Structure formats: structure tokens, C-alpha cells
Chains A and B, each alone.
Chain A
Amino acid sequence: MLGVFICQCGTNISATVDTGAVAAAAAGMRGVAHAESIQYTCSDPGQAAIGAAVREKRLDRIVIAACSPRMHEATFRRALERAGLNPYMMEMVNIREQCSWIHADTGEATMKAVDLVRKAVARIRAHVPLQGGKTAAVRRALVIGGGIAGIRAALDISAAGIPVTLVEKSPSIGGNMARLDKTFPTLDCSSCILTPLMVEIKQHDHIELMTNAEVDDVRGLVGDFQIDIRRRSTCVDEEKCTGCMICQEKCPAPAPDDFNAGLCQSKAISVAFPQAVPLVASLRKQYCRRFNGGKCRLCQKLCPAGAVDYGQEDEVVSRSFGAVVAATGYGHYDWTGSYPTFGKGLYPDVITSAQYERLLSASGPTGGLIRRPSDGAEPRQVAFVSCVGSRDESAGRPQCCSVGCMYTAKQAILTKEHIPDSQSYIFYIDMRAGGKNYEEFVRRAQTRYGAIFIRGRVGRIFPRRGKLVVMGTDTLAGDQVEIEADLVVLAAGLTAAPGAGELARKLNIACDETGFMAEEHPKLRPVEAAAAGVFLAGACQGPKDIPATVAQAGAAAAKVIGLLSRGELETSPMVSAVNPSRCAGCFKCRDVCPFGAIDKDRLADGLVTARVIESLCRGCGICNAACPPGAISLNGYTDKQLLAELVEVLR
């Protein structure tokens, strides 16, 4: 006995699909004992109505025509379970995303909805009750990326007694936040918040920290990922190095200073920054004389701890993890290619906001004195240009960077604090200050710190008599403006972290069109990635500020704890199964299976047939399509079920 429920989804569906007519049509379909249209099927009353119908009409299978199954399949399976039915005796029909939202004509949309319901009614006749199994879950989590997101997630997960491995690509944890001076909206010093947490990571008994490390390969699935981590050779023995920096002092080979955003030079062998965790040196071979044909061995000779080892090789360590948190953060948009009228990076006093953070910071190259790069002079007039590579269709970057307005206001405040007789000008499109206390913060920049806000885009920046002329429009005054500045700071947009796409591919998760890692659903599953057991924290999921990053990291940690705290996981019953009496023993299935989930089985009569190792099967159904006699089939997607759908939609 079959029940059909047509969801109106408020008016999301009923505005274009005549749900009453669909229910009436469904009532006439074969095997249907009950059909009704409900305002919100997923709501409590909606689910209660399903339960009531199941009891009254003794229904044993349910078709629900509503939103995408990717949205509420799990919800309705639980509803069936509560109503006393096997959760897999349910079939969802997508009449919202794939019908009401994409058609304008009610007649057409309603006809299509009826078609889709008909195919589900046919399909569900071939459903059989399925039972998931249980499997042990490895109680260890991997956190990838050691910015504030990864740090917070690692600390929160380990606080629940679950061991964590934290993998960071660069020589130190801390991420972008470690480079910031003070942070909006409270103006507390970034290091004062961050460095104690970095130290806590290092000292934590349950956290294993691997820096200069990246994920090489990922196998397995939720509960039991086998992951290879490559620890890149740094030519320094981390156990021996004391972080004294003698090597760095004496090293003759210059190298870019990544931490200081290229504002100054570092050395081929160096400690990333004075507060680095771990506080050890690493050698970058591409800049080292010894590795480029030279004879220099100074660092090795001078190291008091004997920590320098030129022969050190990459090491690949393999570990098992029950869950993974991706926290790889963001990258900085390279504006020099798309804004030729801003000087293509040729004017030394046109810098990015990230570089300006380093000029403001007491730990920066100027010791916290604002000095412009060209001549070391203290600037009086500072011009800030918002939205460089953000909200700019002509640069192919329509997205908002979500933090630029706020950090630009912050930098204007800090400029005034550093240089009381300075004047800041902020070119902006709109001031976006949606967070708690953010609007007040921006107001303060204007009223107390006297920053002048000019609404409009900048068209050109060029040098004139030792100054930089910033030409733009003031769209409020309807005028052209020209500011003569000593220093220009560009709020360059945030991009996905370099390599994020490659990592996503290894983890089997999706990225969105801007390259950031994609959550499963913005509201229902905001920290879950497409692969079960993989969660997202911080700016890797999209540009966000520190408060949002920390909140999301906590949420991801809670998900990991929830997943691993019970010690076992439910497995999906939607795996393949072999009908031995049909199996010819050709093992085409084994050839195509990506997971090695097919084994040989010798039957009592000596025949050899295929057998599915359920714990390895992931339910792709490739074997099903490859099996000549149709002996192997995927539960939930059997030939019978698919054929029933096919025939019905073409009726």
C-alpha cells in the first residue's frame, strides 16, 4: 500500500505546480491508497500527517514529492522510521529545484510533476527494505591547515579526548591572522589572541603537529580514511633545532620574506617569524647556494645544535583517521594583472592591505612605524582603495571579499593612531559592516579618527612630484576627485588558497565557482563537505572574518566529535549485492570496481562467483552496469528500479 505526499513548500512549489491536481492524479495511480497535498511536508505537522496516514491506511511505502532529495532525503527517512516503516521504503520526487523553480507555465509544470510522481510510484514498487550495518570508526581526526580555523578546530576536537593530527603546509602555524596587527572590531592585538593558542597546540598531548607538510593521498572513507602526509625536507632536524637563528643571521643567500608579504628580504635558511610555532629554522633549497652549485656550508658549520642536515629527504607518513577538517584558508588576489591603470605593481608606494598590516605591526619590517617603501618617509596622506578584485565584473571578480570594508576602516583608525597628523581617504563602493558592533566601528573611523570616505571607484593611480595621484569619482557629489597621497593601500580581494582545488579533489569534495570549498547546504549542512566525514572550517569555505572563522571551526569540531564519539558509524545499505545463481564468474565487476570491493566466493558445488565486501563497497553501481548477466545489482538503484522510472516518464 502506497502513500503519496505532495509538498506545497509554502508557495515555493504551489505557485507554479497545481499540487492539488498532482495529488488527485496520484490518487488514481496503481497501488496508491493515499494521496494528499501538504503545506510543509518537512514540518512537524507534515511529518505527523505521514505517520497518521501510515497507521490509518496501513501504508508500507511512501512517495514524497517536494524539494531535492539532496536536501531532505535524510529528514524523510527518519520520518518513516518514526512512523514504524523501513526508512528506505521512501522515494523522493524533486518538484521544486527541478520543476516549480525552473518553469513558468503552471500547466506544463503540473504535467511534469505528475510525470515525475508517476515514475516514483512505479519505482517504489521495486523497493525492498534495506538495513544499514555498523562499522568501527577510527578515533583520530586530521585537521588540514594551521590558521586560526585549524588551530581552533584541533583544540576543540582534542578537548573531547579525540587525538588530532594538524598538518600545515608552511613552516609555522598561525596562518594569515599571525600577519595581522590589530583586529576589528575590538582592536585587540592579533598576536596576543593567537600566539597562546599556537603554543597550546605545540604542547598539547593529544595533538600531533606536522609543519612543512601536505596531504599526498587519501584513500578509504568516513570512519577510516587512510591518508599519506608528505613532510617536505627542510634540511633541519626539528628535534635538534632550538630556534636560535644563528643560521639565519649568517646565511649569505637572500630569499623572499613570505611572512612580511614581500616587504623585505629573509634568508634561504630562516625561522618564519619570531613567534613561529614550532620555532625552528627551515631551508628553502631554491634560494640556497649549496643547492645551486655553490660550496657554502655556513649554516651547518655554525649551528650549535648540529641540526642542519643537507641530506634530509621528504618523508611520507601514513595514518588512519575517522574524520577530516579542511581549514586551508584563503589566498591573496594578485591585482597587478587586471588593474593596469594602478601601475601594475611598479610604484613601490602602492601596496596591498596585507602588506600594510605588516607595516603597522610592531613585529613587522619597520618595527611598527609606518614608513613608505620607496624612501622610508612617514606618509601624511594615505589613500585606501576598496574592492580591488572584488565586486568588479570587469576584473572577472563579482564576489565580495566580506572583510575589506572592515579592515580598511581599521587600517584608517590605526594610521591615525600611529601618525596623529595624518589624513586617510577611503574610496569605497558601499560600506559593508553587518557584524555585531561593526557599524559603530566604521562610524568611529569617520567621526573620531577623521577618515574621509569617498563613495566611488578609483580609475587611475599615477606618480606626480613624489606623490601618488589617485583619481576617482565621487558618486555622491557627482564629481571627479583627485587625491594626492604619500601611500596608497589597495584592499585586494580574497581568493581560494593556492592548491585548494587539488586538495579538494583528493578529498573528493566540491569547490564552488569561485574556487572556495563548497558546503553541502548553506543552512542545513554548512560545515559538511560533499564527502561524508569531511568538514570545512574558516576561510577555505569562503571569505570570512575571524569571529565567523572561529565559530565555524567550533561547529566543524562539534561535528567531528559527534561523528567519532560513539566509536562506530552506521553504514549505508545502498551497496551492491550478487545473485549467485546468475553470476557467471566472469569478474568484470572486479575489474571495474574502484574500491577492490569484489571478492571470489567458492560455492559448495565448486562454482566460483563474485561476492561484495560490503565494508569496502561505496555504492557507485559501476559493477551493476558492467555485469553481462545482470547478476550484481546496486541496492536502491537496481535495473528494475531504473527501468520502472524510465518506462513511466516516457509513457
Chain B
Amino acid sequence: MPGKDVKIVGFLCNWCAYAGADMAGMARMEQPAGMRIIRVPCSGRVDPLLVLKAFQEGADGVLVSGCHPGDCHYGSGNYLARRRLELLGRMLPALGIEPERFHYTWVSASEGARWAEIVNTFTEAIKDVDEGS
């Protein structure tokens, strides 16, 4: 369905990714309007069930983003997240969800441009899946 609005849920850790998204805002970097950010203290707080719930509720895509490996505010939360989300990503096709709709990545507090880029490319990737290309 070309033109359909893409709705993405983004779970962002407070210390890095959320701050990075703020940084993109401060630099007035235009982004697609479909991203809905939910702030969490740490990417390690993101229960895979929350991700699945988001898909169940009709999200076109789910993004989880936290601090770069080694930079976690709590030391190891992002490593735990990576382990859980990696597994989750592999399970998704079995549940009938295209793997392109799920993405986890790291963004630091100073990487506003990187954040804007991620929102853009992820949104495009989901549009491609929707259009079946």
C-alpha cells in the first residue's frame, strides 16, 4: 500500500539513544513522522514480550536502541539486551513477522545525525516490505 503511514515504536534508553534523538531535534534534523518513542532507563529494560506486544498491536516496525557496547550507563544492560533481541529477531519469521520490521542498534548521546539517519532508513526499509519489493 504505497503512501500508507508507517508507524514505528522505538524503545530508547534514556542515557544514550534518547539523548541522541534529542540531539537530532536540537539540530533540527527532519525525520519521518511515524516514529513513536517510548523512553526506558536502559535497553536492558526492554522485555522481548514488549516488542511482540507492539507487533500484536499493529506496529509496522519496532526499533530498540541503547548505548554503544561498552558505554552502557549501567555497565552491561545493552549486552543483555543484545542477547535477548538477537534471539527475538531470529524467532520473528516463525511468527510471520518479516525480520526487516525489527531492528536494534546503538546510538550515543552525541550522535544526532546517526539517529536521524536510522529513522530514515528504517522507515524506508519498512515501506519496502509493505510494498513487497
Given contacts A68-B25, A108-B33, A646-B57, 20 further A-B contacts (CB under 8 A): A68-B22, A71-B22, A97-B26, A98-B21, A98-B37, A103-B33, A111-B33, A119-B38, A508-B73, A513-B111, A621-B41, A621-B45, A622-B42, A622-B44, A622-B45, A625-B45, A625-B80, A637-B41, A642-B38, A646-B38
B 45-58 to A, binary, CB cutoff 8 A, 1 in contact else 0 = 11100100110011
Q: Are A637 and B110 in contact (CB under 8 A)?
A: no
Q: How far is the CA of A299 from the CA of B70 in the complex (A)?
A: 43
Q: Is A334 part of the contact surface with B, judged by Cβ < 8 Å?
A: no
Q: Are A103 and B25 in contact (CB under 8 A)?
A: no
Q: Which chain A residues border B41 with CB–CB below 8 Å?
A: 574, 619-621, 634, 637
Q: How far is the CA of A69 from the CA of B25 in the complex (A)?
A: 13
- Of the listed residues B28, B33, B76, the one surrounded by the most CB atoms of chain A closer than 10 A to its CB is B33
| B23 → chain A closest CB, angstroms | 8
- Assess A510 versus B108: contact at CB under 8 Å? Given A101-B25, A637-B45, A646-B9: yes
Question: Which 5 residue pairs across A and B have the least CB separation, nearest first?
Answer: A97-B25, A621-B45, A622-B44, A620-B74, A649-B36
Q: List 14 A-B contacts (CB under 8 A).
A: A70-B14, A70-B18, A94-B37, A96-B25, A97-B25, A101-B26, A102-B31, A510-B19, A592-B44, A594-B76, A621-B45, A622-B42, A642-B38, A646-B57
Q: Which chain A residues border B44 with CB–CB below 8 Å?
A: 592, 620-622, 625
Residues A173-200 near B (CB distance < 8 A): none
Q: Which of A71, A94, A105, A518 meets B110, CB within 8 Å?
A: A518
Q: Is A115 part of the contact surface with B, judged by Cβ < 8 Å?
A: yes
Q: Is A616 part of the contact surface with B, judged by Cβ < 8 Å?
A: no
Residues A605-633 near B (CB distance < 8 A): 618-622, 624-626
Q: Which of B47, B50, B73, B75 meets A530, CB within 8 Å?
A: B73
Q: Are A625 and B31 in contact (CB under 8 A)?
A: no
- Assess A650 versus B54: contact at CB under 8 Å? Given A94-B37, A103-B30: yes
| A518 → chain B closest CB, angstroms | 6
Q: Which chain B residues border A649 with CB–CB below 8 Å?
A: 7, 9, 36, 38
Q: Is A599 part of the contact surface with B, judged by Cβ < 8 Å?
A: no
- Assess A505 versus B70: contact at CB under 8 Å? Given A511-B110, A642-B38, A649-B9: yes
Q: Which chain A residues border B109 with CB–CB below 8 Å?
A: 510, 518, 530
Q: Which chain B residues border A52 with CB–CB below 8 Å?
A: none
Q: Are B59 and A650 in contact (CB under 8 A)?
A: yes
| A598 → chain B closest CB, angstroms | 14
Q: Are A592 and B80 in contact (CB under 8 A)?
A: yes
Q: How far is the CA of A620 from the CA of B46 in the complex (A)?
A: 10
Count: A-B pairs, CB below 8 Å? 133
Q: Which of A518, A619, A639 meets B47, CB within 8 Å?
A: A639
Q: Which chain B residues border A574 with CB–CB below 8 Å?
A: 41
Q: Which chain B residues border A108 with CB–CB below 8 Å?
A: 33
Q: Is A104 part of the contact surface with B, judged by Cβ < 8 Å?
A: yes
Q: How far is the CA of A505 from the CA of B72 in the complex (A)?
A: 9
Q: Which chain A residues border B58 with CB–CB below 8 Å?
A: 650
Q: Which chain B residues border A512 with CB–CB below 8 Å?
A: 110
Q: How far is the CA of A594 from the CA of B42 in the complex (A)?
A: 12
Q: Is B118 part of the contact surface with A, judged by Cβ < 8 Å?
A: no
Q: Are A646 and B54 in contact (CB under 8 A)?
A: yes
| B67 → chain A closest CB, angstroms | 9
Q: Are A103 and B71 in contact (CB under 8 A)?
A: no
Q: Is A152 part of the contact surface with B, judged by Cβ < 8 Å?
A: no
Q: Is A160 part of the contact surface with B, judged by Cβ < 8 Å?
A: no
Q: Which chain A residues border B21 with CB–CB below 8 Å?
A: 97-98
Q: Which chain A residues border B25 with CB–CB below 8 Å?
A: 68, 96-98, 101-102
Q: How far is the CA of A513 from the CA of B108 in the complex (A)?
A: 9
- Assess A530 versus B76: contact at CB under 8 Å? Given A69-B39, A643-B50: no
Residue of A nearest to B42 (CB): A620
Q: Are A642 and B9 in contact (CB under 8 A)?
A: no
Q: Are B28 and A101 in contact (CB under 8 A)?
A: yes
Q: How far is the CA of A639 from the CA of B40 in the complex (A)?
A: 11
Residue of A nearest to B16 (CB): A510
Q: How far is the CA of A388 from the CA of B105 in the complex (A)?
A: 36
Q: How far is the CA of A624 from the CA of B53 in the complex (A)?
A: 16
